[in-house]
Amino acid sequence: MKAYQIKDIKNFMNIFLNSETFDHFYLEKATIVMGISYFLDGRIIEDFYQAEELELLGNQKPLFTRWRDTRTNCIQLIKGKKTPVAFQFTLLADPENFSNLSDPMIQAYVVNIKFEQGVLKCVTAVSYSGFTLDKTAEQEWDLTVYKFLSSCQFQVEEL
């Protein structure tokens, strides 16, 4: 697990909310704290969809919505003259986009984007199905996220 501070918050948020850069991630959950708090659960409610629609969403269990399908809703909540008090977005990597990181014990590769007290952080994590002493997957994921952030020209500092 690594934590990176994002130095240029305005640029990062513009790209995060207004571009396709993060669209290949799934949204597990989000919390946006403003005048009131908003909680989003990214799990897809299967009963809402017909079988054909579910098939188009993919076969991942549990099903999570893609960031691209939710970001417009988040923009509507965040936009305005006042900066949110805090927010956190928990994103899951699409296994198809990170096939080089395949490991049967891995349940999810996670990126947490967290803003509080004027500081924006990006924290990596790996969710395992069992206990392991091998931290190779975490190290590879940390490096992958760092390279991703760097390729987007974000100014990041490891914490």
Which of 5, 42, 14, 23 lies closest to 149 in space, CA to CA? Answer: 5
Segment 22-71, tens digit of pLDDT: 999 999 999 999 999 999 999 988 888 787 877 776 656 558 889 998 99
- Residue 73 domain boundaries: 3-158
Confidence of residue 100 (pLDDT cuts 50, 70, 90): low
Query: What three-state secondary structure class fits 131?
Result: coil
- Write down the mean pLDDT value for the chain: 88
Distances (CA, A) of 6 to 19, 118, 157: 17, 11, 7
Amino acid in the structure at residue 11 = N
Tokens of 69: 């399908």
User: Model's pTM, two decimal places?
Assistant: 0.88
What is the number of structural domains in the chain? Answer: 1
CA dihedral 73→78→28→117, nearest 10 degrees, is 180
